[in-house]
Amino acid sequence: MLRQRLIFGSLIALLVVALMSGDAWLAHARPVGGDFGRWLCNGSPSTLLLVLFALLSTRELTRFANQRGYRPLRFVTYVFSVGLVVGPYLAHNVNAAAPVRDQNWGVFWLTLALATAFFFQAVRRGLENAMGNLSSTMFITFYVGLLGYMPQLRLEVGGLHGSILLLYSVFVVKMTDVGAYFTGMLLGRTKFIPWLSPKKTWEGVIGGVIIAVACAVTVGGWLAGRGLIGSVEPRLLLPVSLAVFGFVMAFFSIAGDLFESLLKRDAALKDSGTMIPGMGGILDILDSPLLAAPIAWFYWTQLPMLM
């Protein structure tokens, strides 16, 4: 199991880093080919990757719901969750001169999703488990749609710095998982929440937080020292600020992991899927970044306005 996790985890990490490196290279390159070149260079690789993740996550969450007897409206979940992910990319490239800060389009999109779900429920299923079907449909749409904060962060910061900052933020989140896994395996004794996640220990949780903070400070300081994320508020790049960022990301990483465990236990499933040997499904990888993505976006793009 450990060998499979290391092999396939490393392969996935390399794939993500390669795509994000391509995104960073395109962001740094001079666009050619008019509007097509501009759309290609402004976040297309990262957005396409996240759209794929959204589709796979929606499929797995639909399986969870089906296990509990709900029948979410598939058309609505797929179309509108992907819309939340691709929306910031479209908004930015339609008018690249305007910052993508307005959240009203997201609220409108969710309202449209609810209206569409009501329509399909009424036409195709009538009164059959209406509340459960509509609730599960909107939950899946909203939950997967949190991935949309990743392209939003990438585009609001912009260019090469936006690509690197997004990759750095995801790296800190996943290092929480890595640190918690290996610390728990080596030192774990005291169970964290046994009924929810039997293998998690307090020692693992604390180890994950320490690793996340250490990685946030060292890697963030290295990137800032070379001017690779220098377009953000300078006070956020101080060592103490990076340590706070690492702690906050660790907190939401652990919360996201426990949140998915809650959904899996409710559905009586061990893993979200079998797509990735030794690791489970795509949600078993995305559970931490899903909940941490809005926090990273807020930290890097909105917090400076409050300082």
Higher pLDDT, 125 or 300: 300
**What DSSP line would sit under 54-117, residue for residue?**
HHHHHHHHHHHHHHTT----HHHHHHHHHHHHHHHHHHHHHSTTS-S---HHHHHHHHHHHHHH
Residue bearing tokens 């429920």: 121
Compute φ and ψ for 73, nearest 5 degrees: -80, 105
Helix (H, G, I), strand (E, B) or coil at 163: helix
Whether 74 has a pLDDT exceeding 90, the answer reads: yes
Average pLDDT in the 19-25 region?
79
Least confident of 147-156, 172-181, 229-238: 229-238
Average pLDDT over residues 73-96: 89
Residue 1 pLDDT: 58
Mean pLDDT for 59-73 is: 92
Rounded to 5 degrees, what angle do the CA atoms 35, 82, 172 make?
90
Under 8 Å CB-to-CB from 125, ≥6 apart: which residues?
71, 133
pLDDT grade for 73, boundaries at 50, 70 and 90: very high
231 versus 155: the higher-pLDDT residue is 155
Number of neighbours of residue 235 by Cβ within 10 angstroms = 11
Count the Cβ atoms, other than its own, within 10 Å of residue 196.
13
Whether pTM exceeds 0.75: yes
Q: What is the pLDDT of residue 255?
A: 94
Q: Which residues pair with 197 in a beta bridge?
A: 193
How large a percentage of the chain has pLDDT more than 70? 90
More confident residue, 211 or 280: 211
pLDDT digits (tens, 9 = 90+) for 101-157: 556 778 889 999 999 999 999 998 888 889 999 999 999 999 999 999 999 999 888
> Which DSSP letter does residue 200 get?
E
Looking at beta carbons, which pairs linking 214-220 to residues 24 or more positions away fall under 8 Å?
Answer: 214/246, 215/171, 215/172, 215/175, 215/246, 216/172, 216/242, 216/243, 216/245, 216/246, 216/249, 217/242, 217/243, 217/246, 219/168, 219/171, 219/172, 220/168, 220/172, 220/245, 220/246
Say whether pLDDT at 212 is over 80.
yes
Q: What is the pLDDT of residue 102?
A: 57
Is 90 exceeded by the pLDDT of residue 31?
no
The tokens of 162 are what?
């936006």
